[in-house]
Chains A and B, each alone.
Chain A
Amino acid sequence: MKPSSQSNKTAIELATFHVGDALCGMDILKVQEINKLMEMTIVPQSPDYVQGILNLRGQIVTIIDLGKKLGLGQTDLGSDPRNIIVNAPGEYVGLLVNKLSDVVAAEPDKIEPAPANMSGIQGVFFTGVYKTDNKLIGVLDIKEVLRTETENINRV
């Protein structure tokens, strides 16, 4: 992680990370902290994308395996993964990712809508795609990612 570059005000900074083979990013302002605590307690009968629960300084944090949630395969716990703790309404939720990458300053108007072949089930989790010189970053819709399955049913 490098310190944020001084960008102009319209630019947003994306914290980027690897989920499966894909490079994803999210607004860094939504990130509470990033840690590598892996002492999780498994919750039997939880939705399969929930990796477990974690004690974050006295708070109980639900850890979601982002790879599973996005349908990009289970995150390998052996390869030094990280939890991105985000502030959800009323609680903290951790997103388990394979590997962290850089912080990228992006201009919002350069974020393109998700390509057609990305839509479908996974498509709903992305607000768009940001293209840098050498890579593509899928920009996550955190609200959508944190939505629980029951809420999905209500929505439809």
Chain B
Amino acid sequence: MTFEDDEILQGFIEESLEHLADIENDLLAIEEGGADIDVDLVNKVFRAAHSIKGGAGFMGLTVIQDLAHATENVLGLIRSEKLVPTPEIVNVLLMSSDQLQQLIEDIGNSNKADIASNVDALNMIYEQGEAPSIAAVQPSPILEEQVPTEEPVASETVEEDILEENHEAVLEETVSEEEGTLPPEPDIENDVSPSPVVQGTNKKRKAKSATKPDTSIRVTVSLLDQLMNLAGELVLSRNQLLQTITSGDVRSAETVGQRIDLVTSELQEAIMLTRMQPIGNVFNKFPRVVRDLSGKLNKQMDLTIVGKDVELDKTIIESINDPLTHLVRNSVDHGIESPQERLSKGKDARGLIVLKAYHAAGQVVIEISDDGKGIDGDVLAETAVKKGLVTQEQINVMSEKERINLILLPGFSTAEKVTDVSGRGVGMDVVKTNLDQLGGSIEIESDVGKGSTISIKLPLTLAIIPCQIIMTGGERYAIPQVNLEELLRIPASKISERIEKVGNAEVVRLRGNLLPLIRMSDVFEIERTFFDPVKEFTGKDRRENVADRRSGMLLSEKNTELENIESDGGSDRPEDKRKSDRRQSPASALNIVVVSTGAMKYGLIVDRLHDSEEIVIKPLGRHLQQCKGYAGATIMGDGRIALILDVNSIASMAGLTSLEGSERASKLAEANKEAITQSKDRQALLTFSSSPLENFGVPLNQVERVEKIKSTDVEDVGGRRVMQYRGGSLPLISIDEVAMVQSLDVQDNYLVIVFHLAGKDIGLLATGPIDAVEISTDIDDITLKQTGIMGSAIIGGKTTMLIDIFEVVQAINPQWFEDVTLEDRFGTEVEAPTILIVEDSNFFRNQVRSYLEEAGFNVLEAEDGVEALQIIEEQYNEITLVVTDIEMPNMDGFELTEKIKQHPEYSVLPVIALTTLAAEEDIERGKSVGVDEYHIKLDKERLMESVHKYAQPKNTIH
């Protein structure tokens, strides 16, 4: 017979530990009460100590008995109000209860333990009515070293024999004690048998793995009854099922199926309940922890505990202990300030720590909040940089919350001086790792000077996890709901607005934040597919990226229009057609699962979102161990397997490794900037032909619309070609009328590209194929330059001539523009105003200059902001207007504008900004730094309108 087998002994241990758990908090309450003794409470503790003494005596555990007895004596004095429970006395009592606990947990060795110091201290109180000096009650080193361990087998047998003997020897005494009225035993010191246990042996035992004997758990009988009932139900259902299968009755099979479903889920719940324990089991030790620590640190604080009844799985309760202790200690040590400091800040001298547990969204949330000094993100950031954990650049783009979360990085310990309370080199990262293992997450919020709140989210249980089921490439995958933040569906028409492509990565704007996007099919190298909810099928996706911006919403409409034209006339580009159709269909909506991995958040693009389901995790086989990105697999309702995604490793697979993706976002922004400042301004073009061998392009933003007409629609009237258009006549021109290019191909069908210039519509005859492209290549404005052609670029391997529609129209209809020439406004005798053009791209600069010079303005040129400022400095008196690009090297347009607008003298200069990026926030930013007007590059007409508005000749002012 070993001790573990002995039911009576086991019962004693359980009961005693329960008593001790209560004793601790009761003692603290007694201390609180001070001289105002709550007799009931003291009685309770007294009885607890007495039961332990009785039980220990019965079992022959003399050492425990002695200690319990000495404790009981002191408590007796307090009960009879002969002794006031000062903190010192309570201290001794607490230490004794600690030692009792240790002895009981390691019951096999209890008779060898050295309890002299505690018993002496207690006896001194008992005899003299006051606590000895602190030094005397310091527990022996053994107490700190001792851990509950299993007795090595060899010595156990010996131990057993001794105990067996003692059993009977002490039996009599115990019985008499139980009957009697608890007289204090004066001869206690004789009973004390200082045990010969040497510290060395203790250490040796500690080295051995501390495998606890099989733990038991208390389950209420009503719960067992319920389980029994459910098991019965299940058997009945099985019988029904078997019967149904034999009879082949489909309808009753359904009923039986439902029944089994119901019973199974109830059974699952009930079984889960047996493992549930109140979190109070962990929380209850914290009053003591806080009391001891605050005493040590000379701080004053209260601890409020809320939600002790919240229940969690046993394994989680056990594993949450260490992280929670760490956090509470942190709050006491680093969070709450010293009373003096608190008073000087106008706070109550007593700090407050609140420990709170509650249910939220199927999870348990534990909050540890204090009203201390809070966590200063900037200090953390500085430390992190100093330790080389992050770079200054990363810090610069971090939000305050992200900075605070730096504390969770491995190798980060904030304690400036290491105390024995907290800050022992291991820090919050260990807490985070522990929580990660439990499937939990941690979040820190802090208000400097006011306090901080740490929230821990934990799953109720580990065995069954709720998951969101998604589909990509025709296969289903499960994403644990713990990682799930939200689901996003971006309709096809909004994609170009919401999704942006920066560098070669995609980001989505989510409530003002940039959220990096990861395309699941790319990370896992699955063929890109899309799911069509209308036709219920999954097809291959050929689009390169979702954020095909071209010119946003406007373009996609135009494109559809173009494609419709083409489809009428038997298009030779079916792929484009399909593409544009998809652009607007529900199938091209984007399904994004926003997931978080604690510190990081990103969007995973999937084909389809399914329901959420509760799944059971099963491990993957050996051959799949090296596959990254999976946390396991599960079996779905239909018997097929779905893989469970590990959002953490997906992030690292995709190269996302930062806090809330900010690093990536900033990287993207940088890449973006770089791409643009390489003077490769992107320009959306509409390309078309007019003859079989030549290709043309025209800036898309100048195009009003595209019409498809038959050659018979073109009327030759009065030497001009016109067509009927919206109830009027639309003049039609072709490029070859102006430029030296091949003449318009004679076809049955033409495309008419409609432009709106100088308040009038004009149509340009062209032939297909027509396409909209975004180019970033350099535009050559020399080789092919001629009237009506502003330059050329290589698009899709073909030299494409870019049409200057203003020049074309001006050549044909010079009278259209006459009314806005300069002479009319200023007269010939007035000197023309001077305009400064700031633009890094030769092509665009020349274009703008030609517009302006054509209109009679004097033009100064600068290649970037720095040069522009120099010119302004030198020739300020001449300059009446600045026209600037936004994206430029050295100093961009925003900065330049800011410098101009903040200068005392130059601030009157109007600034017109030109950009290819007419994004909302760019415009906002421009306005905020003082840009007077915003125009899209190559939109000559609007530009000229504003130029005329702002460019007043200098000398008219004088």
Interface residues of A (CB under 8 A from B): 39, 41-47, 50, 53-55, 58-62, 64, 88, 90-91, 93, 146, 148-150
Q: Which residues of B contact A62 (CB under 8 A)?
A: 620-624
Please determine whether B635 and A58 come into contact, CB atoms closer than 8 angstroms.
yes
> Measuring CB to CB, which residues of chain B are less than 8 angstroms from any residue of chain A?
473, 475, 524-526, 618-630, 633, 635, 639-643
- Whether A88 contacts B629 by the Cβ 8 Å rule is no
CB-based contact B628/A53 at 8 Å: no
Given A53-B621, A55-B639, check contact A45 B628 (CB 8 Å).
yes
CA of A41 to CA of B626, assembled, Å: 17
A60 touches B641 (CB 8 A): yes
Would A53 and B624 count as touching, CB distance under 8 A?
yes
Given contacts A41-B642, A44-B473, A44-B524, contact A60 B621 (CB under 8 A): yes
Tell me which residues across on chain A come within 8 A of B643, comparing CB atoms: 41, 43, 53
Chain B residues with CB under 8 A of A55: 635, 639-641
Can you name 9 A-B residue pairings with CB atoms under 8 Å? A41-B641, A42-B473, A43-B630, A45-B525, A46-B624, A55-B640, A62-B623, A91-B622, A150-B626
In the complex, what residue of chain A is closest to B629 when comparing beta carbons?
A45
Residues of B within 8 A of A93 (CB): 621-623
Smallest CB separation, A68 vs chain B (Å): 12
- Determine the chain A residues whose CB is within 8 A of the CB of B622 once the complex forms: 62, 88, 90-91, 93, 146, 148
List B contacts of A60 (CB < 8 A). Answer: 618-621, 633, 635, 641
Cβ of A45 to closest chain B Cβ, rounded Å: 5
* Bound: A43/B633 CA distance, A: 10
- Is there an interface contact between B620 and A47, defined as CB atoms closer than 8 Å? no
In the bound complex, what is the Cα–Cα distance between A49 and B626 (angstroms)? Answer: 14
Q: Complex formed: what's the CA distance from A72 to B277 in Å? A: 57
Contacts of A39 in B (CB 8 A): 639-640
A41 and B640 form a contact (CB under 8 A): yes
B639 touches A43 (CB 8 A): no
Are B621 and A61 interface neighbours, CB within 8 A?
yes
B629 touches A91 (CB 8 A): no
Knowing A43-B643, A55-B641, A60-B633, say if A148 contacts B524 (CB, 8 Å): no
Q: Quick one: closest A residue to B633, CB to CB?
A: A60
How far apart are B474's CB and chain A's nearest CB, in angstroms? 8
CB neighbours of B475 from chain A (8 A)? 41-42
B623 touches A50 (CB 8 A): yes
Most buried by B among A43, A44, A47, A148: A44
Give the complex CA separation of A150 and B641 in angstroms: 25
Residue of B nearest to A53 (CB): B641
In the complex, which residues of chain A have a beta carbon less than 8 angstroms from the beta carbon of B633? 41, 53, 60
Q: From residue B525, how far is it (CB to closest CB) to chain A in Å?
A: 6
Q: Are A44 and B526 in contact (CB under 8 A)?
A: yes
Nearest Cβ on chain A to B627's Cβ, whole angstroms? 5
In the assembly, what is the distance between CA of A41 and CA of B473, in Å? 11
Give chain A residues whose Cβ lies under 8 Å from the Cβ of B630.
Answer: 43
Residues of the A chain whose Cβ atoms lie less than 8 Å from the Cβ of B641: 41, 53-55, 60
Contacts of B525 in A (CB 8 A): 44-45
> Would A50 and B624 count as touching, CB distance under 8 A?
yes
Q: Which residues of chain A have C-beta atoms less than 8 A from B626's C-beta?
A: 47, 148-150
Task: Report the nearest A residue to B628, measured CB to CB.
Answer: A45
Residue in chain B with minimal CB distance to A151: B622
Give bound CA distance, A118 to B640, whole Å: 38
CB B561 to nearest CB in A, in angstroms, measures 39
Which chain A residues border B635 with CB–CB below 8 Å? Answer: 55, 58, 60
Using a Cβ cutoff of 8 Å, how many contacts connect chains A and B?
75
Cβ–Cβ contact A148 & B623, under 8 A: yes
Specify which chain A residues have a CB less than 8 angstroms from the CB of B624 in the assembled complex.
Answer: 43, 46, 50, 53, 62
**Given A55-B635, A55-B641, A60-B641: A43 and B625 interface contact (C-beta under 8 Å):** no
Residues of A within 8 A of B640 (CB): 39, 41, 55
Which of these, B619, B621, B627, contacts A45 with CB under 8 Å? B627
Contacts of A50 on B, CB cut-off 8 Å?
623-624
* Residues of the B chain whose Cβ atoms lie less than 8 Å from the Cβ of A90: 622
* Chain B residues whose C-beta falls within 8 Å of the C-beta of A64 in the assembled complex: 623
Q: In the complex, which residues of chain A have a beta carbon less than 8 angstroms from the beta carbon of B473?
A: 42, 44
Q: How far is the CA of A61 from the CA of B635 in the complex (A)?
A: 11
Chain A residue contacts of B629, Cβ below 8 A: 44-45
Least CB distance from A10 to B in Å reads 33
Question: Whole-angstrom distance from the CB of B646 to the nearest CB of chain A?
Answer: 12
The reply to whether A91 and B621 contact each other, CB–CB distance below 8 Å, is yes
| A58, closest chain B residue (CB) | B635
Nearest opposing residue in chain B for A64, CB measure = B623
Q: Contacts A53-B641, A55-B641: A148 and B625 contacting too (C-beta < 8 A)?
A: yes
Q: Cβ of A41: which chain B residues have Cβ within 8 Å of it?
A: 475, 633, 640-643
| Given A43-B643, A53-B624, A60-B620: 18 more A-B contacts, CB < 8 Å | A41-B640, A41-B641, A42-B473, A42-B475, A44-B627, A45-B524, A45-B525, A45-B628, A46-B624, A50-B623, A53-B621, A53-B633, A55-B639, A55-B640, A61-B621, A62-B621, A64-B623, A90-B622
Kindly list chain A residues whose C-beta atoms are within 8 Å of the C-beta of B524: 44-45
Chain B residues with CB below 8 A from A44, complex form: 473, 524-526, 627, 629
B627 touches A53 (CB 8 A): no
Residue among A50, A54, A55 with most chain B CB within 10 A: A55
Q: Complex formed: what's the CA distance from A44 to B629 in Å?
A: 10
A109 to B622 Cα, complex, angstroms: 33
- Closest Cβ neighbor of B619 among chain A residues: A60
Q: Inside 8 A of A43's CB, which chain B residues have their CB?
A: 620, 624, 627, 630, 643
What's the Cα separation between A45 and B623 when bound, in Å? 11
Q: Bound complex: CA of A146 vs CA of B524, how far in Å?
A: 24
A88–B526 Cα distance when bound, in Å, is: 29
In the assembled complex, the Cα of A42 lies from the Cα of B630 at a distance in Å of: 13
Distance in angstroms from A55 CB to nearest chain B CB is 5
Q: Which residue of B lies closest to A50 (CB)?
A: B623
B471 to chain A, nearest CB (A): 12
Instruction: Choose among B618, B623, B635 the residue with the greatest number of A CB atoms under 10 Å from its CB.
Output: B623
Q: Within 8 Å CB of A88, what residues of B?
A: 622
Known: A41-B475, A53-B633, A60-B633. A46 touches B623 (CB 8 A): yes
Q: Are B625 and A53 in contact, CB atoms less than 8 angstroms apart?
A: no
Write the chain B residue with the least CB distance to A90: B622
Minimum C-beta distance from A35 to chain B (A):
13
Q: How far is the CA of A19 from the CA of B526 in the complex (A)?
A: 27
Chain B residue numbers with a CB within 8 Å of A53 are 620-621, 624, 633, 641, 643
The docked-state distance in angstroms from the alpha carbon of A35 to that of B348 is: 74
Query: Nearest residue in B to A41 (C-beta to C-beta)?
Result: B641
B residues near A46, Cβ cutoff 8 Å: 623-624, 627
Q: Please measure, in the bound complex, the distance between the C-alpha atom of A62 and the C-alpha atom of B288, giving whole angstroms.
A: 52
Q: Which of A42, A47, A59 meets B623, CB within 8 Å?
A: A47
* Shortest beta-carbon distance from A92 to chain B in Å: 8
Question: Which of chain B's residues has its CB closest to A59's CB?
Answer: B618
CA of A93 to CA of B621, assembled, Å: 8
Query: What separation, in Å, do the CA atoms of A122 and B618 have in the docked complex?
Result: 33
Separation of A10 and B628 alpha carbons in the complex (Å): 46
Bound together, the chains give a CA A93 to CA B475 distance in angstroms of 21
The smallest beta-carbon distance between B140 and chain A, in angstroms, is: 48
Instruction: Tell me which residues across on chain B come within 8 A of A61, comparing CB atoms.
Output: 621
Distance of A41 Cα from B639 Cα, bound (Å): 11
Q: Which residues of the other chain, A, contact B618 by a CB distance below 8 angstroms?
A: 59-60
Nearest residue (CB) in B for A37 is B639
In the complex, what distance in Å separates the CA atom of A137 from the CA atom of B881? Answer: 90
- Give min CB distance, B98 to chain A, whole Å: 44
Most buried by B among A47, A50, A60, A146: A60
In whole Å, how far is B649's beta carbon from the nearest beta carbon of chain A? 11
B residues near A42, Cβ cutoff 8 Å: 473, 475
State in angstroms the CA–CA spacing of A79 and B618 once bound together: 31
- Complex: how many Å from CA A42 to CA B621? 13
Chain A residue at minimal CB-CB distance from B632: A60
Which residue of chain A has the shortest Cβ distance to B472 in the bound complex? A44
Pairs A-B, 3 closest by C-beta atoms: A62-B621, A44-B524, A41-B641
- CB contacts (< 8 Å) of B628 on chain A: these are 45
Give the distance to chain A from B472, nearest Cβ to Cβ, in Å.
9
Q: How far is the CA of A88 from the CA of B623 in the complex (A)?
A: 11
